[in-house]
Amino acid sequence: MNSSLHDTPAAPRIEAMDVHKSYRAGARVVEVLHGASVEVRPGEKLAIVGASGSGKSTLLNVLSGLDRPSAGAIRIDGCDLYAMPPRERTAMRARRIGFVFQAYHLLPELTLFDNVYLPARVRWEGFGGGAGARKRAAELIERVGLAARATHRPDELSGGEQQRAAIARALMNEPDILFADEPTGNLDSASGGQVLDSLFALVEGGERTVVMVTHNPDIAARCDRVLTLRDGRIG
């Protein structure tokens, strides 16, 4: 029997092809990625695991447009990310990519609400103007359980609260790709569990793609697929 169109696999949302990344350390050149290749489908939740120092964060930075590879190519929906002019790549990242950092990176002078709302300044038109953007920020803050803390600044929040705020901020512009770099790495198990529950609740349904790096097998098991980075390559 011939396969129907519905059985045809979706084209990759993200493609990394023979990616290398090296850094200069004094007189030495240290190669972190040695030809890493991976494909991620729309709506897939992928965990990348590996030992400390294996290059997981470097790979995530390259995949997300934060750090240009030394060689190889990254494609988002078929478009070569690093062949784009810098302005175009920045605009694409602002609209289509969210990033959750291990260290939160909330701006200390802003309230929780203003930190979450901040990314919308690049795309008010997507929410019908500033009022629509403020409404979305408030809804996200409520969904991560922080409505009562919206006027607090980061130094008045616990680590788990800061990370939940960072997740809300990463999703503010409704990106179709979310990268998360050890999102519970700085948290105890209880706070980490709350953060993961918030993250997965916010991304369930639809075709939002999630790529998460972690060293925790229990966290990786909550994703659809787990890949291991060894010696700078995806095993």
Does residue 2 surpass a pLDDT of 60? no
Q: Whose CA is closest to 199, among 225, 165, 150, 153?
A: 165
**Percentage of the chain surpassing pLDDT 90?**
63
Instruction: Please give the average per-residue pLDDT across 100-129, as a whole number.
Output: 84
| Pair 130, 80: CB distance under 8 Å | no
Of the pLDDT bands very low, low, confident and very high (cuts 50, 70, 90), residue 127 is low
Q: How far apart are CA 157 and CA 90, in angstroms?
A: 30
Instruction: Please give the average per-residue pLDDT across 34-43, as a whole number.
Output: 94
List the CATH number of the domain containing 110.
3.40.50.300
* Average pLDDT of the residues of the chain: 89
pLDDT of residue 207: 80
Q: Whose CA is closest to 42, among 179, 170, 208, 225?
A: 208
Number of folded domains in the chain? 1
Is 2 domain-assigned?
Answer: no
Is 132 domain-assigned?
Answer: yes
Is 7 domain-assigned?
Answer: no
Structural domain span for residue 164: 43-65+90-234
pLDDT in tens, 139-163: 999 999 999 999 999 999 999 999 9
Instruction: Please give the average per-residue pLDDT across 14-35, as a whole number.
Output: 92
DSSP 3-state helix, strand, coil percentages of the chain (rounded to 5)?
Answer: 40, 25, 35
Is 170 domain-assigned?
Answer: yes
